[in-house]
Each structure stands twice: as C-alpha cells, then as structure tokens.
Amino acid sequence: MRRILVIGAAGQIGSELVPALRKKYGNENVIATGRKTPLPDVIKETGPVIYLDAIDKERLAQALFEYDINTIFHMASILSATGEKMPQIAWDININGLINVLEAGRSYNVDRIIWPSSIAAFGPTTPRDNTPNTTILQPTTIYGISKVAGELLAEYYYKKYKLDVRSMRLPGIISSETLPGGGTTDYAVEIFYEAIKHKNYTCFLREDTILPMMYQPDCLKCMIDLLEADNSRLKRRVYNVTGMSFSAGEIASEIKKYIPEFSIEYKPDFRQEIADSWPRSIDDSLARQEWDWNPSYDLISMTKDMIQTLSKRLK
Ligand code: AKB
C-alpha cells in the first residue's frame, strides 16, 4: 500500500495532484503539505494536511516517521523567473530542499521519490528542435542549474544508495485550477484568464516564441504513470516529456476562435531571454518506449477544454 507525502501541495501541479492521488490511493494515504500558500479547501476537507518546510530536516523526518511514508512527490520549487530575482533563495529551496528529501528518504526506507525536473535544464547550447533526452545541459538560469544538479543527484542516489528516484523534465504546464507563479511559461495560463475576463492580454514574450507545453490532465497522468512504471524497464532516472509546442501567436489565434474580440499585444521583458534559451520542441521517445508515456491533449483540444472550464468558473 502506498503512503504518499506530497511536498508543495498548494502549487499549480500539487493542488490537482493531491486529489488525483487520493482518488487512486485513498484519501487517508495521501498527506498534503504546505508552507506559505494556503491549501485549497478540497485538499483540506478530504484528507490529512500538515505544515512542512522541506528545508527543515527534522520536521521532514518526523513527517515520514509519523505518517509511515513510503512514497514522496517533491513538488516544491522556485521557478525560472522568480529564481532570477533571488538566485540564492532559489538554490536553497530547490537544492537543499531536494537533498533533505533524498537523505530523509534514504534513512526512512522510502521506496519511491518523484521529483520533477524541467525543460529549464537545457540551455542555449542545446539543440532547440526535437531536443533529445541525452544532450548538452548548460542552462543559464539558477532554476535550470538547480534542475541539472537535481537530475545528477537523482542518478547518484539511485546508483549509490538504490534510492528509487524518478524524474521527468516538465515543459510549461497549462491548468485551470491554480495559477502558476514565477515561471517563464506562465503566459500560456494567464492568457486564458485575461481573454475571458478582459478580452485582451499583454504578453511578456514575443509573438514568435515557441515553447513546449503540456495540459494538466496529461501532467497528472505523467506523474502517476512514472510512479507506477516497472523499474526493470527504466534505463535512466530522468525523462524528457512533452504534450505540444506552440508560439504565443498560435495560442492567441486559437483563443480567438472562441473569443473573436480578443486582442493581444507583445511587450517582451527579461523572461524573453530565458525562453530563448529553452528548446522549441522535445523528443520524448524514450519515455514512450520505457514507460508508455502517451499524452492526449494538443493545442486545439487543450484550448477548447480550458475555455469551457474557465468560462464556467469565472462567470
Ligand atoms: C518555468 O517557466 O519556470 C516552469 C518550467 C518550464 O519549469 N514552468
């Protein structure tokens, strides 16, 4: 039986991952943790919730012991744009938090840890189209540097201590429940809220900026599929995954099909340089081969679903 600790349950992914995990593994078996951001009611009302800062080693160890945890989703992270504003704090939370989770996991016989990496692990020297799983990793953001270090730690703990850490390089995640915070791909979520509420949006990236993205239902499936993947088939700890790739201009055109009066202007800021250092599209064939990764949503089906879901909610 899985006893799961979700660190960072209030975030864009965590807030929907906890309900998905509770549905599959039972409400009492999924312990949601938060720090500063309040947890959504649906999480507080359906199962155990605790305060936890992953930087606090003792509190982390206590949580693993008290709740008899054997599986951890470590979702807490400072994203790319915020990281550039406070690089030392980003390093502390992203790396020291991860090392604490790995060390506690090793001491308390945790048998699986899922920790997402990101397309931010790539950099300007990486091939930008159909980026392979194994390639040049020379990121230029502190977030990306922390992801590369984390990927190497995942491989290291697996080899040295047999700790079963698994990771996927997430692209931008598009979701309708919780807004992302502090990322470069956040525009692809904000654009829907602004289009529905105000019929216009000022985009912080150029119109022709193409980035890899994934819709939340595919992201949740990705988390659970990698958790459950048969270890004998996995030939590495870290996998490329993707759902779709589009430019800012292309998503705006797709939204206009539903909201014809929608207008967009482009005012690139410091996040443009970050976006320009990341791949345009991702080769995720190894994830498909080794654990049957198979996303469902493309730009057309994702836009339709986002517009329907958010229009209902925001009205
Ligand atoms: C960000 O934009 O920083 C994140 C990511 C791609 O990891 N969404």
Ordered by start, the domain boundaries in the chain are: 4-172+215-240, 175-212+244-280+297-314
Encode 276-314: b = buried (16+ Cβ within 10 Å), e = exposed: bbbbbbbbbebbeebbebebebebeebbebbbeebeeee
pLDDT of residue 19: 98
Q: Which of 143, 157, 201, 239 is catalytic?
A: 143
Whether 67 has a pLDDT exceeding 90, the answer reads yes
Whether 1 has a pLDDT exceeding 90, the answer reads yes
Joined tokens for residue 305: 């679903």
Q: Which CATH architecture has domain 4-172+215-240?
A: 3-Layer(aba) Sandwich (3.40)
Name 141's Cβ contacts closer than 8 Å, sequence gap at least 6.
80, 83, 84, 120, 274, 277
Q: Which CATH architecture has domain 175-212+244-280+297-314?
A: Alpha-Beta Complex (3.90)
Report the percentage of the chain scoring pLDDT > 90.
99
Confidence band of 315 (pLDDT split at 50, 70, 90): confident
What is the residue whose two structure tokens read 């207008």?
Answer: 263
pLDDT of residue 18: 98
Whether the full predicted model's pTM is greater than 0.85, yes or no, is yes
Q: Is 143 in the active site?
A: yes
Q: Which atom of ligand 1 is nearest to the CA of 171?
A: 6
303 C-alpha to ligand 1 centroid (Å): 19
The per-residue pLDDT of the chain, averaged, comes to 97
Q: What is the mean pLDDT of residues 45-59?
A: 97
Joined tokens for residue 252: 């705006």
